[in-house]
Structure 1
């Protein structure tokens, strides 16, 4: 199983909350607690779980089916991020790598898929991504 970026965010928030409680971190310095609110992280986690399930259900998918799955998760993440603005450069890179990794784990050759459509591999999510 591929670790979701949202799990890494949960872990960082949990660590920072623990350090605040222990008095070893000032709340003002706890960037993760402020950047990734629980509601945001839970919504991202749900969107990624739905994406994983959808990709796992694909049997010999067409390019259109794969792109449709990518579009759905990216537009879901757009909607989740809109009120928070929490997906910044680091998060964007983690999420894009995750979208690719889920497809790769399901047997999709992402490099070939994107090349067939005149894209570079790193452009897989670009068509729909606002973050």
Structure 2
């Protein structure tokens, strides 16, 4: 079975893509023993410089999708600040890697997008698990 993401520009397709991106970046794996979900943001962030560049670009993609949905400049600025903070802290060796486990900028940004989509495009609502 293969899973493909929708490529449309409609709100339902955007929802599916940003939810998948957030899950990939923040909750792809579970650390055995402590049962803590981690994603590529924390793992790729272990690679100095390149890891931060890659995860920042992936976080920026979520903001780009939000802009295409018509989120306000204020919400886009909040989302940008989340990614910027995550990038700045993540650049600090060891400390940044630990912070990546608890400060989940992509999850925060997903919540902003979903709140907008649920308000302005209620037909796209789906019953989801907890984020």
> What TM-score comes out, normalization by structure 2 length?
0.38
Bigger proportion of residues as helix: 1
Bigger proportion of residues as strand: 2
Q: Which has the larger radius of gyration?
A: 1
